[in-house]
Amino acid sequence: MNATTVKTNLLGLTRTELEAFVANMGEKPFRARQLMKWLYKRHVADFDQMTDLAKSFRAKLVEVAEVAVPEITLTQVSADGTRKWLLAMNTSEGIKQGIEMVFIPEPGRGTLCISSQVGCAMDCTFCSTAQQGFNRNLNAAEIVGQVWLANKELGYQHGGDRVVTNIVFMGMGEPLANYRNVVPATEILMDDLGFDISRRRVTVSTSGLVPQMLKLAEETNCALAVSLHAPNDTLRDELVPINRKHKIAELLDACWVYVNKQNARSITFEYVMLDGVNDRPEHAHELVALLKGRPAKLNLIPFNPFPGTRYKRSSAAAIERFRDILNANGVIATTRRTRGDDIDAACGQLVGRVHDRTTVRLGSKLISVAVQ
Ligand code: SAH
């Protein structure tokens, strides 16, 4: 073993990959299952404490493997109990990057909102993460590591009630732009030897990367949420620039394919309520025309402002009127309660600390160089 050997972070390995990993070490596949029990059921990261593994195997593991989680830079707790962590991520430039993770406690459930990228390149005009630019994808271990860390921070005890019952990929980043790492991570979250979270409680949210949505329909079975935000292409081209490539009709077709393939109940559509932009009654009627009779649920998100934004949140009356039109016309719509906004932990307020390395931003086709 030489000094330059990079240890494998076991949190990034699916069951099959972990079996291959231990096989490579000359061990039987069931050792992988034992390891997973220590990691995910007993929450033990220290190989020395894994007492049913042979001492010789443990000694080898220390050489080649590690269980590493992101480092917490800042923890904030909202008046409503929402928690936000700023997590440090390493980069090749040696500059510390920040991503954010949010825990939202509700009666009977706890939702953890995790990040999939440092920053985001999708350039949606109303999202503060977009302002930060994009640095890099997180690897599977960094994604799973967030959940592992949250469980630890929230005091999860082996045998006790779950604290994190739902996972949503609604933190920083576009998960389907990081397909290669997000898919194995979802596998570990849903694996009964992993976090054992049911497939309906692991939600990948996308701004609409159609080819990846179709691939996801074939390869996984987690829940899907789609950031729609506009009822017609003219408006969506402006708000969600990926729409210029994949129009609403194509996006919705992919959604219905997903539901059929997955035998899922429905797709959740996210719709941010922007004052005077997409919140008028005619927009609600356009949405009805798109979604009526379809396996769709609409989640209205009151816009969360951030410094420098040109948008304003729709009034409570406008949101209510919008929701009523949808519901009266057979489209199920609910309003997402704003949580954690006193600590900037609400949707679209996650900025972390990103060292922008974007070369092409979707919205502006802006060419930029790295700025510190
Ligand atoms: N890139 C993925 C994951 C981000 S999810 C996606 O686009 O779906 C975060 C959700 O919050 C998305 O629906 C996003 O559009 C929404 N959002 C972004 N900025 C917001 C803001 N300022 N106020 C309210 N919601 C916002």
Evaluate: CB of 208 within 6 angstroms of ligand 1. Answer: no
Ligand 1 centroid – CA 183 distance (Å): 20
CB-CB contact of 161 with 154 (8 Å): no
Ligand 1 centroid – CA 175 distance (Å): 12
From 115, 10, 117, select the one nearest 68 (Cα to Cα). Answer: 10
Evaluate: CB of 100 within 6 angstroms of ligand 1. Answer: no
Residue nearest to atom 22 of ligand 1 (CA): 348
Evaluate: CB of 278 within 6 angstroms of ligand 1. Answer: no
Evaluate: CB of 121 within 6 angstroms of ligand 1. Answer: no
What pLDDT does 45 receive? 95
Taking the CA of residue 207 as reference, the ligand 1 atom at the shortest distance is 7
Write out the two tokens for 81: 């109990």
CB-CB contact of 76 with 87 (8 Å): no
Burial class (CB in 10 A: 0-12, 13-18, 19+), 37: middle
CB-CB contact of 165 with 109 (8 Å): yes
Q: For this structure, is 218 an active site residue?
A: no
Active-site annotation holder among 19, 100, 187, 270: 100
Read off the pLDDT of residues 108-147 as tens digits, 9 standing for 90 and up: 999 999 999 999 999 999 998 888 889 899 999 999 999 9
CA distances from 282 to 21, 160, 291, 322, 328 (A): 56, 49, 14, 9, 14
Q: For this structure, is 71 an active site residue?
A: no
Query: What's this model's pTM, rounded to 2 decimal places?
Result: 0.92
How many whole angstroms from its chain centre is CA 197? 15
Evaluate: CB of 301 within 6 angstroms of ligand 1. Answer: yes
* Residue at token pair 């049913």: 52
Read off the pLDDT of residues 185-201 as tens digits, 9 standing for 90 and up: 999 999 999 999 999 99
Taking the CA of residue 311 as reference, the ligand 1 atom at the shortest distance is 22
- Binding site annotation covers 255? no
Read off the pLDDT of residues 63-104 as tens digits, 9 standing for 90 and up: 999 999 999 999 999 888 899 999 998 766 666 678 999 999
Name 171's Cβ contacts closer than 8 Å, sequence gap at least 6. 99, 100, 101, 102, 113, 114, 115, 116, 350
Mutate which of 124, 127, 186 to test ligand 1's pocket (most atoms within 8 Å of Cβ)?
Answer: 127
Residue nearest to atom 26 of ligand 1 (CA): 348
Ligand 1 centroid – CA 271 distance (Å): 9
Evaluate: CB of 207 within 6 angstroms of ligand 1. Answer: yes
CB count, 10 Å around CB of 80?
Answer: 16
Ligand 1 centroid – CA 204 distance (Å): 12
- Distance, in Å, from the CA atom of 62 to the CA atom of 207, rounded to the nearest integer, reads 41
- Distance, in Å, from the CA atom of 181 to the CA atom of 262, rounded to the nearest integer, reads 20
Question: pLDDT tens digits for the chain (372 residues)?
Answer: 445 578 999 999 999 999 999 999 999 999 999 999 999 999 999 999 999 999 999 999 999 999 999 999 999 998 888 999 999 987 666 666 789 999 999 999 999 999 999 999 999 999 988 888 898 999 999 999 999 999 999 988 777 788 999 999 999 999 999 999 999 999 999 999 999 999 999 999 999 999 999 999 999 999 999 999 999 999 999 999 999 999 999 999 999 999 999 888 899 999 999 999 999 999 999 999 999 999 999 999 999 988 899 999 999 999 999 999 999 999 999 998 877 777 777 666 666 667 666 544 454 433 222 222
Classify 311 as helix, strand or coil: coil
Evaluate: CB of 270 within 6 angstroms of ligand 1. Answer: yes
CA distance from start to end of the chain: 36
Taking the CA of residue 168 as reference, the ligand 1 atom at the shortest distance is 5
Phi first, then psi: what are they for 263, rounded to 5°?
Answer: 50, 40
